[in-house]
Amino acid sequence: MKEIKTIGVLTSGGDAPGMNASIRAVTRAAIYKGWSVKGICRGYAGLIENEIIDLTTESVSNTIQRGGTLLKSARSKEFMTPEGRAKAYENILKHSIDALVVIGGNGSLAGALAFAKEYDVTCIGLPGTIDNDLYGTDYTIGYDTALNTIVQCVDKIRDTATSHDRIFFVEVMGRDAGFLAQNSAIACGAEAAIIPEDQSNIDQLENFIGRGIRKSKNSSIVLVSESPAAGKGAQYYADRVKKEHPEYEVRVSILGHLQRGGSPSAADRILASRLGVASIVALDEGQRNVMVGVQNDKIVYIPFSRAIKMDKPIDKELIDTLAVLSI
Active site residues: 131
What is the gyration radius of the CA atoms in the chain, in angstroms?
21
Neighbours of 94 (CB within 10 A): 10
Q: Show the DSSP H helices in 33-81 as ranges.
A: 43-48
CA pair distance 85, 193, nearest whole angstrom? 41
CA neighbours closer than 13 Å in the CB half-sphere of residue 134: 34
Q: Give Dmax (Cα) for the chain.
A: 70
CA pair distance 103, 115, nearest whole angstrom? 15
CA pair distance 300, 302, nearest whole angstrom? 7
- Supply the DSSP string of 301-321, one letter for each residue: EEEHHHHHHS--PPPHHHHHH
Q: Quick one: which H or E segment has residue 239?
A: helix 234-244
